[in-house]
Amino acid sequence: MNLEGRVGVVTGGATGLGLQMATALAEAGANVVICSRKLDNCEEAAHGIEKLGVKALAYGCDVTKPDQVETLKEATMQKFGRVDALINNAGRAWVAPVEEMPLERWQQVLDLNITAPFLCAQAFGREMIKVKRGKIINIASIAGLVGRNPKNYNSIAYGTSKGALVNFTRDLAVKWAQHNIQVNAICPGFFVTPINVKMFDKVSDQIVGEIPLGRTGGEDDLKGLVVVLASDASNFMTGTVIPVDGGTTAW
Q: What is the C-alpha separation between 160 and 147, in angstroms, rounded?
A: 10
Q: What is the C-alpha separation between 161 and 20, in angstroms, rounded?
A: 22
For residues 155 and 113, is the Cβ–Cβ distance under 8 A? no
Q: What is the C-alpha separation between 185 and 174, in angstroms, rounded?
A: 13
DSSP characters over 42-111: HHHHHHHHHTTTS-EEEEE--TTSHHHHHHHHHHHHHHHS---EEEE-------B-GGG--HHHHHHHHI
Our CA angle for 185, 188, 193, nearest 5°, is 130
Active site residue 153: no
Q: Which of 158, 168, 190, 191 is catalytic?
A: 158
For residues 76 and 105, is the Cβ–Cβ distance under 8 A? no
For residues 223 and 27, is the Cβ–Cβ distance under 8 A? yes
Active-site residues, by number, are 158
